[in-house]
Structure 1
Amino acid sequence: MPTFLHTADWQMGRAFSRFETEDGAALVEARFEAIEKLARLAKEHQCDAVLVAGDVFDAQTVADRTIRRVFNATREFTGPWVMLPGNHDAALAESVWTRARRLAAVPDNVHLALEPGVINLEHQGLAILCAPLTQRNTYSDLTEAFDTWETPDGLARIGLAHGSVQGLLPDEIDSTNPILPNRAQTARLDYLALGDWHGTRQIDERTWYSGTPEPERFRNNEAGYALIVNVPGPRETPGVTPVETARYQWHQWRETLTVESDLDRLLDRLKALPEPSVVDLRLEGAVTLAGEEKLINALSVAEARFRSIQCDRSGLQLEPTDDDIAALKADGYVGEVIEHLRTRQQDDDAQAARDALAILAGLLKDRKQEASE
């Protein structure tokens, strides 16, 4: 009755250049910590093996240091690891995998599935049928060979592949590296461990995508998990338990503010997020000057709480109310300028008009405070 951990899509060496340097570095480090957590989970759950269904590395050109750190991070689980090349780290004649071997970085308990075939882990009761990608894109189903491969009696037949299950995933990823939806059935597999889709997803009772253990993009697809798989016996339905592995939660919100309560609800949602969050906001609509001040203050607090928060306010117009203008004592010519800037927010240079209006409001507020001191 073997038990193993199924993971995929580590994408080690991935850069996070869209973030501030400190935040990008923390996100990179979290991916190494995710491997260490996988090793601990495999040990805690007394797994017989860890199967990595492709894209261990983000590119063939990752640094030697990255290669060494990846294998170092697996140390806590001393049982067998089986690593499959995916489309990002395909088993080319010269690849990140051949470099890893030249560096002598691959531990003895790590099996690199660089060629199609079966890796028999007899002591663990597992026969791993491997379909590595030997080029970035293929247009034939590499798992078709599973149907004809024989495995020793008494070993669970486990497929390991990286690609797109046809007809069940979004069209944009169904074009290359295809996999038959019922491959587990045609190949008499006890379980088919897949990679390429970065979220945890069940295809059928024997076929799962584990997803990436640490989210790396803004897509709500159940990323940040690994799967503990228990095979009770030949042709019996495996037990699959998702285990959370993510350190950071990624949130992408697109909000339109029309009334004051919209802003209040948005700020309440921000407050409810946990500290290890990566947040991308894009705001549209309109906000009063008082609301703008409340928003800026809330974003300042969030910047100190979260791993990262980025907010695009270019589509958010400033709409000073009569009370706003009265509070600024913006009468006469200044009041006319404010009204002009309000109107210009509808033009092509809306961002410049918005910024000017915000600056003018801030100057008027500062002048008012100085006069009262």
Structure 2
Amino acid sequence: MRILHTSDWHLGRSFHGVGMLEAQRGFLSQLLDTVRSSRVDAVLISGDVYDRALPGVDVVRLLDEALAGITAAGARVILTSGNHDSAARLGFGGRIFEQGGVHLRTGIESITSPVLLQDGAATVAVYGIPYLEPRLAAPELGADTAPTHAGVLGEAVRRIREDTARREAEGAPVLPLVMVHTFASGGITSDSERDLSVGGVGAVPLDLFTGFTYTALGHLHGRQELAPNVWYSGSPLPYSFSEARQSKGGLLIEIGPGGLTGVTPVPWEAPKRLELLRGTLDGLLADPSLTAAEDAWCQVTLTDDDRPAKAMERIRSRFPGTLVLVFEPASGNRGVNESYSRRLARATDDLDICCGFLDHVRSREAAPEEKDLFVEVLAKVNAAEVAK
């Protein structure tokens, strides 16, 4: 049996102001190619299908096209809601969609209703756990459930183990696979994920998933193995420059009668690469080794001691895909950590105050022509004051 583990599609997301709908359409096309070429039996989406609770019409239409394409290729779809999704909206029509091979697991009541996948002697029971907001989920899960991420997820897992034991006691052995949208201990984060709790203390213990045939995690955007049978698939596209060095795609899971037999990364290419450039403006513009970055989305960190004039305009003359521009003087001596009030206290006259302010807000001293303009303006102001 072959199962494709994906998560964190974030349909409708933008990347530093650039719409990503066509890029997302591109990864979905590659996903569909994988389903066909690898003869995938089921596609898992472990939460954050959408990027926001109220997705746009074109975004909903894209998901509709994706689900139709996957099921037409012969695979079933099992998806859970993440912290970015509206569980109620995403779960609408679930009982009807089930008949078409799309299984929505967005509510607590569905936790112990696994999707049974049969392939010869192997029966895989896929349990989908939606994202559980502790304060909201704890009362519904039981009075003794602690209103923490570990508490509510622990109760959900307990119920799944109980259901699995009941099925085996009835003579129907199954291989339990769990889908979870959470931050598991040991996971490496990226800048594009939303904290699941204040202070980032929402991590759940890894041993919570001991004994499951496979745990398909969602939430963290970098593909990573936490245990041989516990994986984050990562997001199919990079959603922050902190993911520039990550390989994106899905995970092809193979399960036989005896359990898990293999986990293989499946790469999907993004339409544009991400590049992290660092150096002086003149150095970056002249560096012949950076040719490949001319067609990439770029985050540029300029290390000039003085902030160059028209920096974004000039950097984009060579790297038009520059989306983020950061200034970090190499010397560290431009007074960036000094408050303006302290600079003001050292000023000797009005011209010094004006030039000091200009230097403070843009990290570059006033040019001679700018100083001349300040002198002219200050002269007119003083003359007007005298005239009064």
TM-score, shorter chain, exceeding 0.5? yes
**2:182 aligned to 163, 166, 175, which one?**
163
Measured at CA, do residues 67 and 136 of structure 1 come closer, stay the same or move farther in structure 2, by a change above 3 Å? farther
Amino acid at match of 1:51: L
| 1:215 Cα offset (Å) | 1.2
**1:85 aligned to 81, 101, 112, which one?**
81
Measured at CA, do residues 263 and 13 of structure 1 come closer, stay the same or move farther in structure 2, by a change above 3 Å? closer
Does the 8 Å contact 2:116/2:124 carry over to 1? yes
Match of residue 113 from structure 1: 105
| 2:235 is equivalent to residue 207 of structure 1 | no
Measured at CA, do residues 313 and 208 of structure 1 come closer, stay the same or move farther in structure 2, by a change above 3 Å? closer
| 2:275 is equivalent to residue 283 of structure 1 | no
**1:43 aligned to 26, 31, 36, which one?**
36
| 2:76 is equivalent to residue 63 of structure 1 | no
Unaligned stretches of 5+ in structure 1? Answer: 318-339, 359-373
Does the 8 Å contact 2:189/2:221 carry over to 1? no
Measured at CA, do residues 313 and 50 of structure 1 come closer, stay the same or move farther in structure 2, by a change above 3 Å? closer
Does the 8 Å contact 1:6/1:210 carry over to 2? yes
Does the 8 Å contact 1:130/1:161 carry over to 2? yes
**1:123 aligned to 109, 118, 141, which one?**
118
CA shift digits 1:169-207 (9 cap, x unpaired): 46966746643302332xx21111000001101001000
1:245 and 1:345 mapped to 2: Cα distance?
A: 49
Does the 8 Å contact 1:52/1:83 carry over to 2? yes
Does the 8 Å contact 1:8/1:210 carry over to 2? yes
Identity fraction in percent: 20
Match of residue 206 from structure 2: 181
Measured at CA, do residues 63 and 167 of structure 1 come closer, stay the same or move farther in structure 2, by a change above 3 Å? same
1:297 and 1:73 mapped to 2: Cα distance?
A: 41
1:130 and 1:145 mapped to 2: Cα distance?
A: 12
| 1:43 Cα offset (Å) | 1.5
| 1:54 Cα offset (Å) | 0.6
Match of residue 325 from structure 2: 312
- Alignment root-mean-square deviation, CA: 3.9
2:21 is paired with a residue whose SS is helix
Amino acid at match of 2:219: D
Amino acid at match of 1:347: D
Match of residue 89 from structure 2: 95
Amino acid at match of 2:112: G
Match of residue 224 from structure 1: 248
Unaligned stretches of 5+ in structure 2? Answer: 136-147, 331-351, 371-388
Aligned length: 310
Q: TM-score of the superposition, structure 1-length normalised?
A: 0.69
Does the 8 Å contact 1:89/1:96 carry over to 2? yes
Does the 8 Å contact 2:294/2:318 carry over to 1? no
Does the 8 Å contact 1:86/1:136 carry over to 2? no
**1:272 aligned to 292, 296, 299, which one?**
292
CA shift digits 1:94-129 (9 cap, x unpaired): 43432x669x88881211012212323343442102
1:146 and 1:357 mapped to 2: Cα distance?
A: 73
Does the 8 Å contact 2:358/2:366 carry over to 1? no
1:13 and 1:105 mapped to 2: Cα distance?
A: 22
Measured at CA, do residues 46 and 177 of structure 1 come closer, stay the same or move farther in structure 2, by a change above 3 Å? farther
